[in-house]
Amino acid sequence: MIFILFILINLKLFSQNEMPVIDTAIAQNSSEVYYKYIYQPDTFKIIYVYVDSSFSSVSEIKSLKNDTLDGVYITYYENGQKKSCFYYKNGMIDGNFYYWNEFGQLQESGYLKKGKGKGIDFYENGAQEAKYIFIDKGYGFPIIVRGKWFYINGN
Residue 35, pLDDT above cutoff 60:
no
Which residue type does 53 have? S
120 pLDDT more than 60: yes
Residue of 49, 46, 92 whose CA lies nearest to 74: 49
**Does residue 68 surpass a pLDDT of 60?**
yes
**Which has more confidence, 38 or 140?**
140
Distance (Å, rounded) from C-alpha 74 to C-alpha 123?
A: 22
Per-residue pLDDT at 125: 92
What percent of the chain is modeled with pLDDT above 90? 34
DSSP state of 137: -
What are the DSSP calls for 22-68, one per residue?
Answer: PSEEEEEESS-B-------TTT--EEEEEE-TTS--EEEEEEEETTE
User: Confidence class of residue 141 from pLDDT cuts 50, 70 and 90?
Assistant: confident
- The domain spans of the chain are 1-77
Give, as one character, the DSSP assignment of residue 124: T
